[in-house]
Amino acid sequence: MCERKEERGTAGQRKDIPVPPYFFMNNDDLKYAIENGIINLSHIQEQVEMNKREEILKEYRNSMWKASDGYWKIRMTYDETGQRKVFKRRSKQDLEDLIVKTHREKVENPKIKSIFEDWAQRKFDLKKISVQTYQRYHQDFNRFFGILGEKKIRSIEPEDVSNFLEEQISKHNLTAKAFCNLKTITRGTLKWAKRNKLIDWNVQELFYDLDVADKSFKKSIKEDSKEVFNDAEMKRIVEYLKENQDMVNFGILLMFVTGLRVGELSALKWEDWDSNTGIIRIRRTEVRHYENHKGIFEVKDFPKTEAGIRNVVVPQGCIWILQKLRNMSAFCEYIFSKDGKRLNTYSFRNRLRTVCKNTGCVQKSPHKIRKTYCTILLDHSVDNQMVISQMGHSSISCSETYYHRDRKNLQKKQKIMDSIDEFMVVSR
157 and 241 inside one domain: no
Residue 273 and residue 126 share a domain: no
258 with 391, same domain?
yes
Q: Indicate the pTM of the whole model.
A: 0.59
Residue 269 lies in a domain: yes
Say yes or no: 191 and 271 in one domain.
Answer: no
Please, which pLDDT band fits residue 12 given cuts at 50, 70 and 90?
very low
Write the pLDDT tens digit of every residue in 28-85.
766 666 677 766 667 777 777 788 788 878 888 888 899 999 999 988 765 555 567 8
Q: What residues pair up with 341 in beta bridges, in sequence order?
A: 338
Regarding whether 260 and 168 lie in a shared domain, the answer is no
Q: Express each pLDDT in 353-393 by its tens digit.
A: 999 999 999 999 999 999 999 999 999 999 999 999 999 98
Residue 155 lies in a domain: yes
- 126 and 239 co-located in one domain: no
Parent domain of 359: 224-282+309-411
Q: Is residue 37 part of a domain?
A: no
- In one-letter notation, the amino acid at residue 408 is K
Backbone phi, then psi, for 203, in 5-degree steps? Answer: -70, -45
Q: In this predicted model, which residue has the larger pLDDT, 265 or 58? A: 265
Determine, yes or no, domain membership for 75.
Answer: no
How many Cα atoms within 13 Å fall on the side-chain side of residue 250? 19
Q: What is the number of domains present in the chain?
A: 2
Q: What is the pLDDT of residues 135-145, one digit of tens each?
A: 999 999 999 99
